[in-house]
Structure 1
């Protein structure tokens, strides 16, 4: 169905005169007559009938007009929305690890919005563990993400963005609580709460224990950093976790990890071969220029 013919139909329905409507549309009267005739043939109904020198909608024509006007309004809204997205506005779906939700993500997104005055940009936030986030990127649920790096993911671009030190957290009454710094070997005698195997941090911490030739006593496996910290605060065990601001407000003692010395990196991740809206592309560029690596 020809879009122009539908527009001609709406105009004629309101003006109710072929000559005047064709002048208003800046087309010839035969062109307008042909457009209406084509519509009627395609639909198999009569849309207009004569009334003196004018034409008026038939009963069927009135029904059709109502739907066409609704459709054209939606079409116009769609065109406007797409054009605004082309100007760097619209929705950005950003996924991230929960531990980054208290500082890093709010900071970088707020700075981006402040650097884009007058633009209607809406962030939609999603959280999860790295494996879930990467899968969401590949399924195009998210435009980009802040997460750990997975070496085997060849379709994902990983850009270093921020770093985070590992620490050991223990209950305040734990034997290690008297120290300010411990080596990883010092944690071996005590039951530990560890990251689940689905977490991007689990293989990294496991590699540290392998480096010192020792293993830990895992009593619980948990996906989320904050949940691990909560269990430690209630005496369920100790844990090796990335430092996060929330630890200052929990009933735990934070110990610096002396040896082996290691830091965790977070990455800005996105599909290498995937169309991004201008708003999403602008955010990725902005994030690269404002990384927190120091």
Structure 2
């Protein structure tokens, strides 16, 4: 069914005059007559009947008009919403990120982006999880962009490093190691550890640190989320390695910089390669990349 024919039908039903309807539609009267005739043949019934020099809807035309108006209204609303979603100034961005970025990093990043007048009407939808889950959701189009760890063997995903996180060791305040101001991981083999689970992007890096110094840590439990790690350490359940993030100040733990082995922990901006994204998503991606140096410096403070 021709969409233009439905639009012509709606206008003619409102004006009930071929000449006036044709003028409003900016088409010729014969073109309008042909369109209505074609629509009637397709539907197998007459939609209009003559009334003097005018026309009026038939019983079947009135019935059909209700559905046409609803359908065209929905299409127009969908077009409006789509333009808003894909607009650079009024669009929508679905952003996924790992738990460690939720307390400060992402809120600060989004707030700085929205300070620009051109972007103040852009809306965000957020989701958190571990890196493996986030990357899968990114590929399934749940997210437009993701902030996470690097994942190997993901050829369809572009990973761009945008900032660094320092890894630290946290211990309970009355733990024997709490007397120290920094830590060499060779000193910790006798203590029970709370580890991130194997779904977490940071787990591989922590495993590599212990492999480098030939230490086999004693893992008493594995968890997914950072606050759970800090909470368990604060009640003396074990010790842990965790990114230095702002919320650690809220827990009763001692934070120890790791002096050995040396390490680098990067946060990546992840996106699906060769995939169309809206202007608003592109603007936010470019904003992150242009501010990546500043993000790294701020994160080290």
TM-score bucket of the superposed structures, by smaller chain: over 0.9
Alpha-carbon distance, 1:23 to partner = 3.0
Task: Give, in whole Å, the separation in 1 of the partners of 2:257 and 2:107.
Answer: 26
Task: Give, in whole Å, the separation in 1 of the partners of 2:203 and 2:28.
Answer: 73
Task: Give, in whole Å, the separation in 1 of the partners of 2:49 and 2:34.
Answer: 15
Task: Give, in whole Å, the separation in 2 of the partners of 1:198 and 1:180.
Answer: 31
Q: Deviations over 1:108-144 (max 9, x none)?
A: 1111122243653111101010011111112222111
Alpha-carbon distance, 1:25 to partner = 2.6
Equivalent pair of 2:87/2:278 in contact (CA under 8 Å): no
Alignment of 1:7-46 (within 5 A): 7-46=7-46
SS at match of 1:237: coil
SS at match of 2:277: coil
Deviation larger for 176-185 or 44-53: 44-53
Alpha-carbon distance, 1:50 to partner = 2.2
Task: Give, in whole Å, the separation in 2 of the partners of 1:18 and 1:243.
Answer: 73
Q: Deviations over 1:197-235 (max 9, x none)?
A: 111111111111111111101000111111111111111
Aligned residue in 2 for 1:58:
58
Task: Give, in whole Å, the separation in 1 of the partners of 2:178 and 2:70.
Answer: 68
Q: How many residues are paired up?
A: 294
TM-score with structure 1 setting the length: 0.95
Aligned residue in 2 for 1:185:
186
Q: Structure 2: any 5+ residue segments left out of the alignment?
A: none
- Aligned-residue Cα RMSD (Å) equals 1.5
Alignment of 1:158-197 (within 5 A): 158-197=159-198
SS at match of 2:260: coil
Task: Give, in whole Å, the separation in 2 of the partners of 1:217 and 1:86.
Answer: 50
Aligned CA distance change for structure 1 residues 28 and 117 (closer, same or farther; 3 Å): closer
Alpha-carbon distance, 1:173 to partner = 1.5
TM-score with structure 2 setting the length: 0.93
Task: Give, in whole Å, the separation in 2 of the partners of 1:118 and 1:288.
Answer: 16
Residue 283 of structure 1 pairs with residue 275 of structure 2 = no
Equivalent pair of 1:85/1:278 in contact (CA under 8 Å): no
Equivalent pair of 1:167/1:240 in contact (CA under 8 Å): yes
Task: Give, in whole Å, the separation in 1 of the partners of 2:159 and 2:119.
Answer: 30
